């Protein structure tokens, strides 16, 4: 662990414990707007913002296809529906550890290069930080290289465990852009990139950074697919969130990043208005069934933004398609919004559940909803589960065309009860 001017320069692993950051000249509670740049992203649901939103607003699930798991069990016939990124969409990476995960991150990062360069020009490289979230940073490398160890008695000469280090994604991003600010990695399961974005906001408000490259990503390895399947959480059909007929998640891969800054350096006119976190600590995988953990995160975000529930124009639901998540989230939304039936939907039935990248990718969908004035629809069979409060699920992209979309909330509820809620709005 290195230190620079009294602050931690690099943290190998960051967990979502809320802490107060202070500077002698700038208190944490100073009122300031935190602007967000145009996002950079990559996923199976589109190559450009226009294609991405075209698919999301039409409920197009063509990015979801079957993939075979044969890395762990050779010649396996196990297949799962996955939101897999086509290889030709990804950058080649000039790095000692040119993993698929770094290719995914690098491709998404290209979309914020301009904003990063503006931030460096305005603030200096030492004032631009990095906060990145992920879940699986290369578990497939363990299988391929350990297989060689067990058969030949030694690891391949080019195998280095650093490639799987929790800190390496943040290190890579700092190196890619020549940044010298604080560099942090986050692993809070499916809310990892939300944790990264929230910490980025705190770094700016504390005066430790003036801008932050924040977001996250993940790839779908066989270990992830088989691990979720062992929990009986993977749907063997395309995910059908909030339906009475839902049977689990469809996994996906992707990444998304923003540049957060105290000035509108990218000219978007959109701010990170509020953030909220809570921790159930209820169970290693199951959330609090009554939705109270989700409720606490959403209410904290609303309080932070100084908003009433009725002022939210759209909620991007976590919406995994598992029995427990959808039930508790539906209850949580009902507890917060009550009689105000806020338009809401989950995009995971089109993108797949991108795990550590889900929160930042879904915040990108909210960003484009505001910019393009269209809401993502939800791909599902529309069979209401009577055990879930009735939600105003968007099934037609024109459903709210008579109302301006100015403020969006995005929810991420992870294993271990790591709950996060983000609100963005027009400045």
From residue 282, alpha-carbon distances to 275, 416, 418 in Å are: 22, 7, 10
From residue 293, alpha-carbon distances to 267, 335, 355, 411 in Å are: 35, 11, 19, 12
Check: CB of residue 16 under 8 Å from CB of residue 186. Answer: yes
**Burial status of residue 162 (CB atoms within 10 A of its CB: 0-12, 13-18, 19 or more):** exposed
Cα Dmax for the chain: 67
Cα–Cα distance, 374 to 56 (Å, whole number): 9
Residues 244, 247, 250, 251, Cα dihedral to 10°: 130
Q: What's the token pair of residue 375?
A: 């809401």
Cα–Cα distance, 304 to 88 (Å, whole number): 41
Q: Which candidate in 69, 190, 400, 408 is catalytic?
A: 190
Q: What is the Rg, in whole angstroms, of the alpha carbon atoms belonging to the chain?
A: 20
- Distance from chain centroid for Cα 249: 16
The three-point CA angle 379-382-386 to 5° equals 135
Q: Residue 255: name the closest of 103, 391, 123, 404 by CA.
A: 103
Q: Is 73 a catalytic residue?
A: no
Check: CB of residue 413 under 8 Å from CB of residue 325. Answer: yes
For the chain, the straight-line distance linking the first and the last C-alpha, in angstroms and rounded, comes to 37
Q: Is 318 a catalytic residue?
A: yes
How many other β-carbons are positioned within 10 Å of the β-carbon of residue 125? 15
How many other β-carbons are positioned within 10 Å of the β-carbon of residue 310? 11
Check: CB of residue 195 under 8 Å from CB of residue 276. Answer: no
Check: CB of residue 315 under 8 Å from CB of residue 411. Answer: yes
Q: Is 323 a catalytic residue?
A: no
Q: Where are the beta strands (DSSP E) in 197-306?
A: 211-218, 251-252, 254-261, 270-279
Q: Which candidate in 45, 135, 353, 366 is catalytic?
A: 353
How many other β-carbons are positioned within 10 Å of the β-carbon of residue 130? 30
Based on DSSP, count helices (H) and strands (E) in the chain, helices before strands: 11, 18
**What residues are labeled active site?**
190, 318, 353
């Amino acid at each position: 662990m290195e230190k620079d001017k009294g602050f931690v320069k690099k943290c190998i692993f960051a967990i979502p414990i809320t802490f107060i950051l202070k500077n002698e000249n700038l208190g944490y509670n100073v009122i300031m707007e935190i602007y967000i740049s145009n996002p950079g992203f990559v996923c199976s649901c589109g190559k450009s913002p226009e294609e991405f939103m075209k698919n999301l607003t039409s409920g197009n699930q063509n990015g979801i296809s079957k993939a075979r798991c044969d890395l762990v069990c050779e010649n396996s016939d196990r297949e799962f529906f996955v939101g897999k990124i086509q290889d030709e969409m990804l950058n080649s990476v000039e790095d000692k550890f040119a993993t698929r995960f770094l290719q995914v991150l690098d491709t998404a990062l290209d979309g914020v290069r301009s904003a990063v360069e503006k931030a460096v020009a305005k603030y200096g490289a030492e004032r631009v930080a990095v906060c990145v979230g992920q879940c699986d940073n290369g578990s497939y490398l363990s299988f391929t290289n350990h297989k060689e160890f067990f058969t030949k008695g030694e690891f391949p000469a080019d195998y280095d465990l650093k490639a799987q280090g929790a800190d390496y994604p943040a290190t890579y991003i700092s190196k890619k852009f020549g940044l010298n600010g604080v560099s942090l990695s986050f692993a809070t399961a499916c809310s990892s990139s939300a944790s990264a974005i929230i910490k980025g906001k705190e770094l700016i408000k504390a005066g430790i950074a003036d801008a932050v490259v924040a977001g996250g990503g993940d790839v779908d390895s066989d270990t992830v697919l088989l691990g979720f399947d062992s929990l009986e959480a993977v749907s063997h059909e395309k995910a059908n969130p909030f339906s009475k007929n839902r049977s689990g998640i469809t996994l996906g891969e992707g990444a998304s990043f923003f540049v957060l800054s105290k000035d509108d350096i990218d000219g978007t006119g959109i701010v990170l208005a509020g953030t909220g976190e809570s921790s159930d600590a209820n169970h290693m995988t199951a959330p609090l069934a009554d939705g109270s953990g989700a409720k606490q995160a959403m209410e904290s975000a609303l309080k932070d933004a100084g908003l009433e529930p009725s002022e939210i124009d759209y909620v991007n639901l976590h919406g995994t398609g598992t029995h427990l998540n959808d039930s508790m989230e539906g209850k949580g939304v009902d507890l917060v919004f009550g009689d105000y039936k806020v338009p809401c939907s989950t995009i995971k039935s089109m993108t797949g559940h991108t795990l550590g990248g889900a929160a930042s990718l879904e915040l990108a969908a909210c960003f484009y909803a505001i910019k393009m004035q269209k809401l993502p629809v939800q791909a599902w069979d529309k069979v209401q589960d009577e055990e879930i409060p009735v939600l105003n699920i968007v099934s037609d992209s024109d459903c709210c065309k008579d109302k301006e979309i100015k403020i969006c909330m995005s929810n991420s509820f992870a294993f271990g009860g790591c709950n996060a809620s983000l609100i963005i709005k027009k400045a």
